[in-house]
């Protein structure tokens, strides 16, 4: 009996995902998707490599700004950590409006 498309896809994912990889699915604006395609074509690498390179570069930038303890928290898989608390930024207008 022939496999269904869902079974074929499931088998593919099982073969390619292991303990060192994680599957990420995102929906991008058309403009951003086109930019990603352009970067892929320019460098001649898969989208996965473009995304990993960009994240790696930004991670290095963030690492210079964060204490080591905070970096360890950020690098922990999301299911094992609490969400990052967002703090409100004071805008110039808000600080000038106060008496």
Q: Which span out of 5-19, 40-54, 56-70 was modeled with the highest average pLDDT?
A: 40-54
The CA distance from 39 to 50, in Å, is 7
Angle between helices 47-65 and 68-75 (to 10 degrees): 150
Q: What does the pLDDT read at residue 76?
A: 67
Q: What does the pLDDT read at residue 61?
A: 86
Task: For residue 34, report the phi and psi dihedrals to the nearest 5 degrees.
Answer: -65, -40
Render the burial of 48-66: b for 16+ CB within 10 Å, e for the rest: eebeeeeeeeeeeeeeeee
Q: What does the pLDDT read at residue 48?
A: 92
The CA distance from 36 to 42, in Å, is 10
Q: What does the pLDDT read at residue 81?
A: 47
């Amino acid at each position: 009996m022939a496999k269904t498309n869902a079974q074929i896809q499931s088998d593919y994912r099982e073969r390619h995902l292991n303990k060192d990889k994680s599957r990420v699915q995102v929906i991008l604006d058309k403009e951003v998707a086109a930019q990603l395609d352009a970067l892929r074509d320019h460098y001649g690498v898969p989208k996965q490599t473009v995304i990993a390179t960009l994240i790696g570069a930004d991670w290095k930038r963030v690492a210079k700004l964060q204490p080591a303890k905070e970096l360890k928290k950020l690098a922990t898989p999301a299911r094992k950590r609490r969400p990052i608390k967002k703090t409100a930024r004071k805008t110039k207008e808000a600080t000038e409006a106060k008496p």
